[in-house]
Amino acid sequence: MTLEALLTLLDYHYWARDRLLDAVEKIAPDRFHKDMGNSFPSIRDTLLHIVFSEWVWRLRWEGEPLPALFDPKDFEAVQDVRARWIEEERQVRRFVDQVGPDDLNHVFRYAELNGQQTQSVFWQSLQHVVNHAAYHRGQVTTMLRQLGAEPPDSQDLIAFYRL
């Protein structure tokens, strides 16, 4: 894996995020919070899971302990989620810029959320962050369709490459 390839994946990740959030912003607030019986009950909760997971991985990369979890009450509107995710993007990009091409294979140790100690290779974990988000963006797209809302524009990687 090259740094250039990882940066391209990050560009894709945030491009797809913006497409998804643009679609979610068009729904009514009650639909944003509606329990859809999914892995995470609502669109809001699914989006928060994506942002939370990205934040957790960044803290692991930085060797930082996990502080208190996000309070969902702080994210009543999609704009709140977008603002937090944009801040997370800034932090992730700053970290990746500092890693550089020579440290992509760096193995870091961390505690999983259940406390179990483990380790991962940096570039693999960054790929995981992008892949994990793609899975949950698909869930949000399905929830939007179930609500009768307009789905986002294509979030396919090939659509990104064709830009």
> Could you identify the residue written with the tokens 């995470």?
40
**pLDDT at 93 (0 to 100):** 97
Range 66-82 average pLDDT:
90
Which CATH architecture fits 3-161? Up-down Bundle (1.20)
If you average pLDDT over residues 100-105, what whole number do you get?
90
Residue 65: closest CA among 53, 56, 77, 75: 56
Is the confidence at residue 68, as pLDDT, over 80? Answer: no
The predicted model scores a pTM of 0.95
What is the predicted pLDDT for the residue at 102?
A: 85
Q: What is d(CA 160, CA 163) in angstroms, rounded to the nearest whole number?
A: 6
Distances (CA, A) of 20 to 47, 59, 67, 155, 157: 10, 25, 28, 8, 14
Tell me the pLDDT band of 53, cut-offs 50, 70 and 90.
very high
One-letter amino acid of 83 = A
Q: How many CB atoms lie within 10 A of CB 79?
A: 11
**pLDDT over threshold 90, residue 101:** no
